[in-house]
Amino acid sequence: MQILDKLKDSQSKLNQELSKVIIGQNEVIEHLFIALLCRGHVLLEGVPGLAKTLLIQCLSNGLDLKFNRI
């Protein structure tokens, strides 16, 4: 249970940080967390201007990961 509590706290903190920059994309952010926990892949599709790149940049910064576009 301690691991789940720690995971929930970490997810909440990261979600708060992402919500400062990314507005109105809560469902996308939640799906990204699920994919990370499952060690899966994510393909973000959408019209230009939905902050897809910015979302991934902020997520990679928050998790201290390297970011590259394909």
CA–CA separation, 52 vs 57, rounded Å?
A: 9
Give the residue among 50, 51, 31 at the shortest CA–CA distance from 42: 31
CA–CA separation, 9 vs 39, rounded Å?
A: 19
CA–CA separation, 57 vs 51, rounded Å?
A: 10
CA–CA separation, 65 vs 51, rounded Å?
A: 19
The reply to whether the predicted model has a pTM over 0.85 is: no
Give the residue among 70, 65, 67 at the shortest CA–CA distance from 14: 65
The 10s digit of each residue's pLDDT in 1-35 is 888 899 899 889 988 989 899 998 889 999 999 99
Q: How high does pLDDT run on average in the chain? A: 90
